[in-house]
Structure 1
Amino acid sequence: MPEKSGAAILVEALVDLGVEVVFGYPGGAVLPIYDALFEHSRIKHILVRHEQAATHAAEGYARSTGKPGVVLVTSGPGATNAITGITDALLDSIPMVVITGQVPTGLIGTDAFQEADTVGITRHCCKHNYLVKDPAKLGHVIHEAFHIATAGRPGPVVIDIPKDVQVATARYTKPGPIQHKTYRPKVKADRAQIEQVVDMLAAAERPVLYTGGGIINSGPAASQLLRELARISGAPVTSTLMGLGALPASSPQWLGMLGMHGTYEANMAMNEADLVVAIGARFDDRVTGRLDAFSPRSRKVHIDIDRSSVNKIVRADLGIIADAGHAMEDMIRVWKSRQHPKPDLSAWWAKIDGWRAKRCLDFPESTREIMPQRAIRALYEATKHRAPIVSTEVGQHQMWAAQHFGFEAPNKWLTSGGLGTMGYGLPAAIGAQLGNPGALCIDIAGEASIQMNIQELATATQYRLPVKIFILNNEYMGMVRQWQELTYSSRYSNSYSDSLPDFVKLGEAYGWKGIRIEHPDELEAGIQAMLDHDGPVIVDCMVAKLANCFPMIPSGAAHTDMILQANEVSGEMDDEAKALV
């Protein structure tokens, strides 16, 4: 076989792996790769305006399609600008392969122009990384990187390629199925453990299925399996922020999201449960609240493909290492083979209905100003028949979207959960739009977060992507202001968004249609105008400035210490909890 340059080997390997889209930004240390890409029409390169946006766009593409996202950036600042997105993907288990250029091997360690220790910098924020010094190994490394990124718990993998390796030549042969020497995640659970959890679920009087993003990462079939497991067990289902959509929000067994801004019924059910079955969730601090008060009377089963997650935060009575989909499939099979009857949970559901009667997501209406919750609900009502893909930035608007926008299917909700990255939503929507050309993709944003990567308006314009941005503009960094009001005696230190741009004119400057909504009477018409426009639209929806996001559990407090709308307090925080906030 003829020898090829390292850059050509890389591109051919990407083609063999079925890569269709690469998000990137060129620079000197990756020019050989860009030259090789020039000859390949099968891979579409998306030129972003900032490397962080490339990673978030790859995340949005991956999260909405189930395929790994691919990023190509140069050395030095190109690689360091990608760090936030790499870390974001690690915490939220998003499959992504990030290819970075590096100075020639002979210059590594000399502080050469645009040199950075990419392998060292990314060691603790990616699933695995490589520094490739031999072009003959490059093809295998690329295939192995994709295997690691997508197998087991998904995550980002970084491949650092010196410029001379991109130019040097070698032979490339497409490798067979990858079998890594040490990385062999356990997908199937032990039969005895499955039987044990089924017996526990069948015997429980107050069970809760606590679900997370691992179910969505397991594939569409896993969400169907969750629905069947919920049906046969009769158990209520709650979810983390990343798990929204695995169970339809319209299901009568859906309790809503749990945790810091979760529903009263979800948090109280978790507190009173006698059995918690966690599937594809990791007991994040935003979910558990005060650990010593977390679900104190329950036995806990933790099903997760990541062995290191089990018993890391909450001690499990039964830890099961397995893929969420496979585990639920086995649970359903065992349940039916044993002919377990559907448990009588009427007393448990009666208690849950009492908590639901609190109507914790209700909010004060206004005829003078737009309540942000009302804006989200109006957006949902106008778009639900099209099953849109919704991304968000980070802040109050993110929580309001999670609370008030009903998701009926997986892979429709794209948000930054673990890292809480402002600036995520717009590039994520761009990535989702590229992966789902016919879909309605909406970024629900705040006026502060949207400015973090607002330069990506140009990317959507260049590639004619009909992305919609719906800004809830309260002229504050809303979540920061809310915490300052509740815990810092309303000392609003640097949380007011001064000197805001005119978002309508800014959108028009980039070739977008701009719409401003200022009064409740304009809300429905403004949303419809956004939907009627074929191209990209930015909507500046002026909402109530001082609205707070409730329910809320103060950081470090227990589930029973929820602050509800209108300052209704369920339970009193003790002095220790108050000190934590």
Structure 2
Amino acid sequence: MRAIEVGLRFLVQQGVRYVFGIPAGSINAIYDALLDIPELKPIVAKHENSSGYMAGAYTRITGLPSICVASSGPGATNLVTPAANAWKQKLPVIFITGSVPSGKMGKGGAQELYAEPIFASITKMSRTVLDPNQLPEILAEAYHTAISGVPGPVHLAIPIDIQMTDIGERELPVLPPVQQPTMDLAAAQAAAKRIKAAGLRGAILLGNGAKASSDSIVQLAETLEWKVATTPRGKGAFPENHPLSLGIYGLSANIKASEYLNGNDHEVLLIIGSSLGELATSNWEPRLVAGRELIHIDYDQSELGKCYETQYPVHGEIKLVITELLEHLSADTQDKSYASEAFQGLGEAAAASEQAEEKWNTLSAIRRLSATAPKNARFFLDIGEFMTYSIQNLLIESGQEFDIDINFGGMGSGIGGSLGAQLAEPTRPTICITGDGCFFMHGLEVLTAKEYNLPILFVVINNARLGMVYHGHMLQYKRCLEDFSQERVSIAGVAQSLGLRHAEVRSLDQLQGEHVQEWLSHGGPVVVEVIVDGNEIPPMGERVKFLQGATY
């Protein structure tokens, strides 16, 4: 049996189900082996970069590692960006790149590249495999490294001859015990004591790491009667139509969240699952922490105290820590008055905007999508001007999900990511919101969605310019190059040429609930081009201030 086949069969045994990537000479042995391993399904993308975002999204949602493969040379370098994204998000994706035959290394082979050091700083392990007999064990070691402790990506460069060498019949490697973060029980109990002492004078800020514990966090917030805000990546960790919701803090913050968290109505700030970076904290806003004590819960100990002095750092698996907190906090058994009150925050604002006579623009289109989306929809956001409107105005309710690769996602990452998301949860409606600039980068992945019959609704906001760049320059410099705009291209026309179902939307009348329902019921991908002028200024002022150096 070939060395690569033994290694792949080990990964199948661990529950790995997908290989994302593009076939090429130096990894052809992998794709040939897949013919004999039907449990491992290939997803052939249109660009290696997109395949990496597909793998990351699938792994983030399912918790299962995935494989992402690319050829030597340019194929490998095309995986650097999604590997860095997986590193930022702590995702156990297994990146495998091909290489020239081991005996020809250093002789100027076609597309030869020493990839090991390139991936070293953005993975938990990066190694070149030079002994075929060790390949299965090294692949097992890479898998174990990816899922142990704080998860993260790994990378192996495997020369084509090493992949193809017959190593005979071999037993599959045995996986050693997996190390998982342990909870600091004493720290959790100290945090519970401080929370109890604060009474009603506390607030909660949720990051992406809180999403897996959403139900228990809702219970905690209701027990404490503390207001809750989320970071942009944490959006969806707490239902935004809940009376305790403040909405988003950080990039494109809701005014209510900024005023409350920067105000003086609380003495304790409970932070759950956030690294508290620039986009999560409105450029590390000092008022967020001024005059109050911080309780920071995270399963990655390195995040605690990294950006702000933290009086109560709590290291451990978040769901277990929340359970421990709830056991120490006596719940008020009487009915909470807020539970029956009409919501006065985001939900009311969204409803009012729907009833009002709105102009046709990006904002109104996003609000209409929010109002008409299924109650179990997953919104997968790309990177651009529309992203700022969506962070602020998509109302994510209980049962819905929100994803965005905001920390290291490139333009077009949301298109690839939405395919991984749909594969992860085939029965959940997936709505990808992207822009014309993103589409021009990685839009042909809609064809990949067609080829695998993935029923994703791709909503492309077409303002015929690089909107975030244009408005960023106008806000910062009061001028910009004409090159940031271009002659409008028909995205619907591109979709038609690809044989995809498509629609062109120019008004709210063409974006009604029945339209969204019909697009999602098609059974395959649908591309909806939303044509807007894009002249309104998006809610990105905090980002511009950071680029201007106004916070220093």
- Is TM > 0.5 for Structure 1 vs Structure 2? yes
Asked whether the 8 Å contact 1:518–1:542 carries over to 2, the reply is: yes
The corresponding residue for 1:287 is 280
Alignment of 1:87-236 (within 5 A): 87-170=84-167, 172-179=170-177, 184-189=179-184, 191-204=185-198, 205-216=200-211, 219=212, 222-236=213-227
Quick one: distance in 1 between partners of 2:35 and 2:148?
A: 30
Asked whether the 8 Å contact 2:7–2:140 carries over to 1, the reply is: no
The corresponding residue for 1:537 is 526
Structure 1 window deviating more from structure 2 (35-44 vs 432-441): it is: 432-441
Structure 1 window deviating more from structure 2 (391-400 vs 368-377): it is: 368-377
1:408 to 369, 374, 397: 397
1:261 to 252, 255, 265: 252
Deviation at 1:179, TM superposition (A): 3.8
Does residue 397 in structure 1 map to residue 386 in structure 2?
yes
- Deviation track 1:171-208 (CA, whole Å, cap 9, x = no partner) reads 5333344247xxx453322x221111111111225312
Quick one: distance in 1 between partners of 2:193 and 2:332?
A: 12
The corresponding residue for 2:480 is 492
Asked whether the 8 Å contact 1:283–1:313 carries over to 2, the reply is: yes
Asked whether the 8 Å contact 2:15–2:64 carries over to 1, the reply is: no
The corresponding residue for 1:271 is 262
- Deviation track 1:127-177 (CA, whole Å, cap 9, x = no partner) reads 322222223332233233233323333322112212222122335333344
Quick one: distance in 2 between partners of 1:151 and 1:121?
A: 22
The corresponding residue for 1:383 is 373
Aligned residues: 543
Asked whether the 8 Å contact 1:369–1:544 carries over to 2, the reply is: no
The corresponding residue for 1:436 is 425
Asked whether the 8 Å contact 1:48–1:459 carries over to 2, the reply is: yes
Asked whether the 8 Å contact 1:25–1:47 carries over to 2, the reply is: yes
Does residue 241 in structure 1 map to residue 229 in structure 2?
no
Asked whether the 8 Å contact 2:240–2:347 carries over to 1, the reply is: no
1:374 to 347, 361, 364: 364
RMSD of aligned Cα (Å): 3.1
The corresponding residue for 2:37 is 40
* 1:444 alignment partner, SS class: strand
Does residue 331 in structure 1 map to residue 320 in structure 2?
no
Asked whether the 8 Å contact 1:23–1:57 carries over to 2, the reply is: yes
Alignment of 1:439-518 (within 5 A): 439-489=428-478, 491-494=479-482, 496-518=484-506
What TM-score results when the alignment is normalised by the length of structure 1? Answer: 0.86
Counterpart residue identity of residue 51, structure 1: E
* 1:401 alignment partner, SS class: helix
* 2:504 alignment partner, SS class: strand
Asked whether the 8 Å contact 2:188–2:321 carries over to 1, the reply is: yes
Deviation at 1:514, TM superposition (A): 1.7
Asked whether the 8 Å contact 1:136–1:172 carries over to 2, the reply is: no
Deviation at 1:51, TM superposition (A): 0.4
The 3 A distance-change label for structure 1 pair 244 and 95 is farther
Asked whether the 8 Å contact 1:391–1:428 carries over to 2, the reply is: yes
Deviation at 1:423, TM superposition (A): 0.6
Asked whether the 8 Å contact 2:10–2:140 carries over to 1, the reply is: yes
Quick one: distance in 2 between partners of 1:321 and 1:48?
A: 38
Counterpart residue identity of residue 85, structure 1: P
- Deviation track 1:255-304 (CA, whole Å, cap 9, x = no partner) reads 11111211122222222342111111111112222454442111112222
Quick one: distance in 2 between partners of 1:310 and 1:361?
A: 38
- Deviation track 1:508-562 (CA, whole Å, cap 9, x = no partner) reads 11111121111232221653542343322111111242122237435557xxxxx
Quick one: distance in 2 between partners of 1:314 and 1:153?
A: 21
Does residue 549 in structure 1 map to residue 546 in structure 2?
no
1:308 to 278, 288, 302: 302
* 1:90 alignment partner, SS class: helix
1:83 to 80, 86, 105: 80
The 3 A distance-change label for structure 1 pair 233 and 146 is farther
The 3 A distance-change label for structure 1 pair 36 and 357 is closer
* 1:208 alignment partner, SS class: strand
Deviation at 1:501, TM superposition (A): 2.5
1:54 to 22, 27, 51: 51
Counterpart residue identity of residue 297, structure 1: G
Asked whether the 8 Å contact 1:468–1:536 carries over to 2, the reply is: yes
Asked whether the 8 Å contact 2:208–2:274 carries over to 1, the reply is: yes
- Deviation track 1:105-124 (CA, whole Å, cap 9, x = no partner) reads 23334442212121111111
Quick one: distance in 2 between partners of 1:367 and 1:459?
A: 39
Structure 1 window deviating more from structure 2 (222-231 vs 430-439): it is: 430-439
Quick one: distance in 2 between partners of 1:450 and 1:542?
A: 14
The 3 A distance-change label for structure 1 pair 53 and 266 is same
Quick one: distance in 2 between partners of 1:192 and 1:389?
A: 37
1:522 to 498, 502, 510: 510
Asked whether the 8 Å contact 2:150–2:299 carries over to 1, the reply is: yes
The 3 A distance-change label for structure 1 pair 5 and 395 is same
Give unmatched runs, 5+ long, in structure 2: none
The 3 A distance-change label for structure 1 pair 495 and 530 is farther
- Deviation track 1:339-360 (CA, whole Å, cap 9, x = no partner) reads 47699x999xxxxx99989969
Quick one: distance in 2 between partners of 1:121 and 1:252?
A: 48
What TM-score results when the alignment is normalised by the length of structure 2? Answer: 0.90
Counterpart residue identity of residue 273, structure 2: G
Deviation at 1:371, TM superposition (A): 2.4
- Deviation track 1:35-59 (CA, whole Å, cap 9, x = no partner) reads 1112221111111111001101112
Q: Percent identity?
A: 26
